[in-house]
Amino acid sequence: MSPRKHRASHLDTYDTWPMLSRILRHYLWNHKRDLSWAGLAMFIIAVALALQAHLIQPLFDNGLISGRIGVINTIIFTIVGLTIIRGVATYYQTYYMESVGQRVVATMQDEMYSQTLRQHLGFFATNPTGTLTSRFVSDLQRLKYAVTQIFSSGLRDSGTIIGLFGNMLLQDVKLTLLTMIIFPLTVLPIRKFGRLTRKYSRVNQESTARMAHHLSQTLQHIRQVQSYTQEKNESKRMMARVSDVLDSTLRAVRIRAMSSPSVELIGTIVIAAIMLYAGQRIADGTLTTGSFASFMASLVMLSRPLKGITNLNNNIQEGLAAAQRAFEIIDAPLTITDESGATALTVKKGAINFSQVTLTYTDGTTALSDINLAIPAGHTVAFVGPSGAGKTSLLNLLPRFYNISHGHISIDGQDISHVTLKSLRSQMGLVTQDVAVFDESIAANIAYGNPKASQASIESAARAAAAHEFISALPHGYDTVLGENGLKLSGGQKQRLAIARAILKNAPILMLDEATAALDTASEKDVQKALQKLSKDRTTLIVAHRLSTIAHANTIMVLDSGKIVEQGSHAALLKKKGLYYKLWSMQANAEDAA
Ligand SMILES: Nc1ncnc2c1ncn2[C@@H]1O[C@H](COP(=O)(O)OP(=O)(O)O)[C@@H](O)[C@H]1O
Ligand SMILES: [Mg+2]
């Protein structure tokens, strides 16, 4: 899909009406029972209020003016009773609406999260964690507020407006007609402000997301910030972002602040005109005092629901802006999925073939070009080369973290693009340089993805990864909780945990991307032994910076600028005196010097 095409469809899907209808059909319809209860409560509220306004007329004409205390008492008690009824109805309406709003948010959070987890890696480069987090939390909160407001204040207020208008018609048709003609004047500013609010709230949410991103990034890399003494600079950059947020917030505040008084001013002008006309009619004797009092009471009571409707529009606009940002995540196309009719990959031995493989990232970087590889089952192949040569990119292709731009990759003769992702990924163990540790116990971390693993198998994996010793030394052993609020492990310890995780997975294809880079020489030797044992009957792809650790590989592929420039055994490559020889000599010299 070209970017322009995407834009065009974008505008259509995220226009006001398509979005409202989507929210209604997809999210609210499931709660139609609760919504109906809320609707009934709102109806009762509106009718009770209109009745109260209506009772003002007999209160004046039949009670107050002629001094009949019995009539006065009856009407006053009825008015109080109606207020109690309205109170009870308001309670139910608020409760049902709020609960629907909360459940809609919960549904959207589920959808957003599960959709995000299935995204290709490139997606996370364009949608940093801070942005995703702010969409997940604050945007959905805004949306919930909008949804509950649309119904609780929107429906109730418009119901009340209709009821009060009905009473006005009953009291005097001409007076009402005059009101109806001049009343729509109040709608003009409402519309204008609505549009502006929506625009600024979008700007505001975007700058908030940028601020959140900056915050999470600098806090996450606080050691870098401090060691490069960038505190002042980062604060300065943060200040710029904070002031962006402030700026757009104030603009939105200004619009909101102007909105209510403008509507009120126009309302007052309308009421003044009505008073002038009614005074004339009472003087003529064609309108009773009671009718006029009831009419005016209705008109005054209208001001609150009308204000509600004005704010409602602002809320809807803010909510739609938030909904759009949520939908953009939910709707982001999944580019790496199972093909229709994809079959399960069956690995007997694990022979891997690359044929004319080219990988171009979405930003235009060609990381690999025309790669041809035939890795026999059970072999260990090492990839070496300068950083940026494309080693990680090559490994990322096997689990289909990225789609290749050209060529074919197959495992045991099956093209990996025609098999299911689940079956494909279950056949490989991956250990990378940056190790992920989850906020769980050590045992759960090793058994990640395999919660049924027995304690014995977890321990033996840890032993094989040379991790058992340090784990047993911890006060809670395998039950020690790691992560945010738990224990912090050293880089090398985390690395061994990740290796244990891969060992436990026991997959026929093993990929190690600088897996031992964080280890000291002593523990690297232990882990290296473990990995060599592990790679024995598996097809193993190793990327290693320290060339001494891959000298045992069956084949060594030397990558440079996305191409395989040399390949062969360690001895053969040394003899060749090419790039591998150069890299090897450089490292040997460095080690001698150390
Ligand atoms: N997600 C990505 N998007 C765009 N370019 C990328 C991405 N990942 C890596 N690259 C680029 O691809 C090239 C190869 O990177 P990489 O495979 O990480 O190299 P190596 O692992 O050999 O150091 C580099 O030029 C790098 O900048
Ligand atoms: Mg790399």
User: Are residues 109 and 51 part of one domain?
Assistant: yes
146 Cα–ligand 1 center, Å: 43
Return the residue whose CA atom lies nearest to atom 26 of ligand 1. 388
Burial label, 581 (beta-carbon count in 10 A; 0-12, 13-18, 19+) = middle
User: Are residues 212 and 91 part of one domain?
Assistant: yes
CA 571 to CA 285: how far, in whole Å? 117
User: Are residues 214 and 71 part of one domain?
Assistant: yes
Counting the structural domains of the chain, the total is: 3
Return the residue whose CA atom lies nearest to atom 16 of ligand 1. 390
484 CB under 6 A from ligand 1?
A: no
CATH number of domain containing 446? 3.40.50.300
CA 150 to CA 145: how far, in whole Å? 9
Return the residue whose CA atom lies nearest to atom 12 of ligand 1. 367
Locate the ligand 1 atom nearest the alpha carbon of residue 393 and give its number. 17
pLDDT above 70 covers a percentage of the chain that reads 97
Least-confidence region, from 73-82, 278-287, 297-306, 400-409: 297-306
User: What would the pLDDT profile of 415-426 be if each residue is shown by its tens digit?
Assistant: 999 999 999 999
Predicted confidence at residue 593, as pLDDT, reads 62
| More reliable by pLDDT, 370 or 147 | 370
Q: How far is CA 169 from CA 59, 275, 295, in A?
A: 18, 16, 9
User: Are residues 459 and 352 part of one domain?
Assistant: no
User: Are residues 476 and 403 part of one domain?
Assistant: no
User: Are residues 390 and 260 part of one domain?
Assistant: no
Overall average pLDDT of the 139-149 stretch: 85
Overall average pLDDT of the 492-500 stretch: 87
For residue 483, pLDDT beyond 80: no
User: Are residues 173 and 31 part of one domain?
Assistant: yes
Per the domain annotation, does 585 fall within a domain?
Answer: yes
562 Cα–ligand 1 center, Å: 9
Residue type, 19: M
Range of the domain at 200: 3-331
User: Are residues 559 and 514 part of one domain?
Assistant: yes
For residue 387, pLDDT beyond 60: yes
436 Cα–ligand 2 center, Å: 16
Last residue of a domain, one of 304, 331, 358: 331
Overall average pLDDT of the 532-537 stretch: 81
125 CB under 6 A from ligand 1?
A: yes
Predicted confidence at residue 460, as pLDDT, reads 93
Per the domain annotation, does 338 fall within a domain?
Answer: no
319 CB under 6 A from ligand 1?
A: no
Predicted confidence at residue 53, as pLDDT, reads 92
User: Are residues 512 and 496 part of one domain?
Assistant: no
What average pLDDT does the structure give for the chain? 87
For the ranges 245-254, 400-409, 427-436, 534-543, the maximum mean pLDDT occurs at 400-409
Nearest ligand to residue 387 Cα = 1
Q: In this structure, what is the dihedral angle of CA atoms 395, 398, 400, 402, given to the nearest 10 degrees? A: 30
For residue 5, pLDDT beyond 80: no
Question: Helix H segments across 135-230?
Answer: 140-149, 156-171, 173-182, 187-220, 222-227
For residue 305, pLDDT beyond 90: no
Per the domain annotation, does 528 fall within a domain?
Answer: no
pLDDT above 90 covers a percentage of the chain that reads 44
For residue 301, pLDDT beyond 70: yes
CA 382 to CA 392: how far, in whole Å? 12
Phi, psi of 334 (to 5 degrees): -85, 115
What are the tokens at 438?
A: 């989850």
126 CB under 6 A from ligand 1?
A: no
Nearest ligand to residue 389 Cα = 1
CA 196 to CA 178: how far, in whole Å? 31
User: Are residues 165 and 30 part of one domain?
Assistant: yes
User: Are residues 295 and 146 part of one domain?
Assistant: yes
Locate the ligand 1 atom nearest the alpha carbon of residue 389 and give its number. 22
Per the domain annotation, does 342 fall within a domain?
Answer: no
For residue 549, pLDDT beyond 50: yes
360 CB under 6 A from ligand 1?
A: no
User: Are residues 561 and 497 part of one domain?
Assistant: no
Predicted confidence at residue 306, as pLDDT, reads 79
User: What would the pLDDT profile of 333-366 be if each residue is shown by its tens digit?
Assistant: 888 889 899 999 999 889 999 999 999 998 899 9
Per the domain annotation, does 567 fall within a domain?
Answer: yes
Predicted confidence at residue 156, as pLDDT, reads 83
Per the domain annotation, does 340 fall within a domain?
Answer: no
Question: Pocket of ligand 1, candidates 123, 358, 361, 557: which has the most ligand atoms within 8 Å of its Cβ, to mutate?
Answer: 361
CA 357 to CA 360: how far, in whole Å? 10
Return the residue whose CA atom lies nearest to atom 1 of ligand 1. 122
For residue 592, pLDDT beyond 80: no
Locate the ligand 1 atom nearest the alpha carbon of residue 365 and give its number. 5
CATH number of domain containing 14? 1.20.1560.10
